[in-house]
């Protein structure tokens, strides 16, 4: 997304929240929660923090039992929604994605966005 597109998107998000569109849209409700509860500013553009291989391995090891328990659910969810260009991720309590289901063709894009290391 270019700088101009990002600014336009941020303006759209802010306007949607200000109009109270959250009552009619799950997406706007999510934007509102992101802004109010987590202080995520749609206008702020930060580079994603990339974990080292060791950090990711440690995070995965801490979640190993959960990853095994969630495998079937992750597979079923991805089968249900994967065809529309999204991926399914399991994250730890710090938001570190420890397991992912996604199309190989999308790997480069998700990596550029910092959604997978």
Q: What is the pLDDT of residues 45-85, one digit of tens each?
A: 777 788 899 999 999 999 999 999 999 999 999 999 988 87
Judge whether 74 lies within some domain. yes
Query: Residue 44: exposed, middle, or buried by beta-carbon count in 10 A (0-12, 13-18, 19+)?
Result: exposed
- Angle (CA) 41-43-45 rounded to 5° is 95
Domain tally for the chain?
A: 2
The residue range of the domain holding 14 is 3-36
In this prediction, residues 78-100 reach a mean pLDDT of 90
In sequence order, the β-bridge partners of residue 89 are 100
Judge whether 41 lies within some domain. no
Q: What is the pTM of this model?
A: 0.66
Name the average pLDDT for the chain: 85
| Predicted pLDDT of residue 3 | 57
Judge whether 117 lies within some domain. no
Count of other CB atoms within 10 angstroms of residue 94: 7
pLDDT confidence band for 89 (50 / 70 / 90): very high
| Predicted pLDDT of residue 2 | 56
- Looking at the fold, whether 9 and 60 belong to one and the same domain comes out as no
């Amino acid at each position: 997304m270019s700088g101009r597109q990002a600014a336009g998107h941020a303006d759209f998000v802010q306007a949607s929240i200000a109009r109270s569109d959250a009552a009619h849209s799950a997406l706007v409700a999510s934007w509102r929660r992101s802004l109010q509860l987590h202080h995520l500013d749609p206008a702020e553009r930060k580079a994603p923090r990339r974990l080292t291989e060791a950090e990711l391995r440690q995070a995965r090891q801490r979640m190993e039992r959960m990853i095994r328990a969630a495998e079937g659910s992750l597979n079923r969810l991805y089968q249900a929604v994967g065809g529309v260009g999204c991926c399914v991720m399991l994250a730890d309590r710090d938001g570190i994605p420890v397991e992912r289901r996604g199309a190989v063709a999308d790997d480069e894009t998700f990596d550029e966005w910092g959604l997978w290391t």
